């Protein structure tokens, strides 16, 4: 109830900017959902900029249309959630003659992070790269058995950016 009261008091002056620290803290799942709806309504219907900090990245992922990732005072990322795609996990490629496949992909400008007899990890920026990599390998006589890109949550990306 304190969180809800605090939000209501903050809204009384109809500010154009609200700064909230852990706004979902202490709320039950229903309260969190209601809070999320209220914040989205304030932002879109009343043109309010809402800046909030949270360690609950699942919540941030569902609400924010702009994200900043800060580690030890350094801004690591700022932008729209879809821009985080460039930080996604690499593409796993299973193909015959893995070392030849790695050399071919490197020669065509892709960054191969790991290569072995038949398993590669390739850093890509766009999903369109997946089709291009597949076409490149097939056009050069290599057999592709699997292309897989693990979808990561904001929490996964945060951990990789902060720990690495």
Domain count, the chain: 2
- 8, 54: one domain: yes
Q: Do residues 160 and 141 touch, judged by C-beta distance below 8 A?
A: no
Q: Do residues 35 and 7 touch, judged by C-beta distance below 8 A?
A: yes
Quick one: tokens of 108? 């065509």
pLDDT in single tens digits along all 164 residues of the chain: 777 787 778 778 888 998 888 888 888 888 888 888 888 888 888 888 988 888 888 888 888 889 998 889 999 889 988 887 777 788 999 999 999 999 999 999 999 999 888 899 998 888 889 999 999 999 999 999 999 988 778 888 888 788 86
Task: Kindly tell me the sign of the dihedral angle through the C-alpha atoms of 85, 155, 34, 24.
Answer: negative
29: in domain: yes
Quick one: tokens of 109? 């400008």
CATH number at residue 95: 3.30.70
CA distance 135 to 21: 48
75: in domain: no
Q: State residue 26's pLDDT score.
A: 81
- 96, 61: one domain: no
72: in domain: no
Closest CA to 67 of 92, 90, 84: 84
Q: State residue 164's pLDDT score.
A: 64
The DSSP call for residue 90 is P
Range of the domain at 48: 2-65
């Amino acid at each position: 109830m304190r969180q809800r009261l605090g939000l209501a008091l903050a809204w009384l002056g109809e500010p154009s900017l609200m700064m909230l620290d852990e706004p979902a803290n202490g709320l039950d799942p229903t309260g969190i959902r209601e809070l999320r709806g209220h914040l989205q309504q304030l932002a879109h219907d009343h043109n309010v900029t809402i800046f909030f900090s949270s360690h609950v990245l699942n919540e941030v992922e569902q609400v924010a249309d702009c994200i900043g990732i800060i580690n030890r005072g350094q801004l690591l990322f700022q932008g729209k959630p879809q821009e985080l795609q460039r930080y996604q996990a690499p593409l796993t490629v299973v193909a015959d003659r893995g070392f030849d496949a790695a050399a071919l992909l490197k020669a065509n400008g892709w960054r191969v992070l790991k290569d072995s007899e038949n398993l590669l990890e390739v850093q890509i920026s766009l999903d369109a790269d997946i089709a291009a990599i597949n076409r490149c390998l097939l056009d050069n006589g290599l057999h592709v058995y699997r292309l897989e890109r693990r979808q990561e949550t904001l929490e996964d990306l945060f951990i990789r950016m902060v720990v690495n």
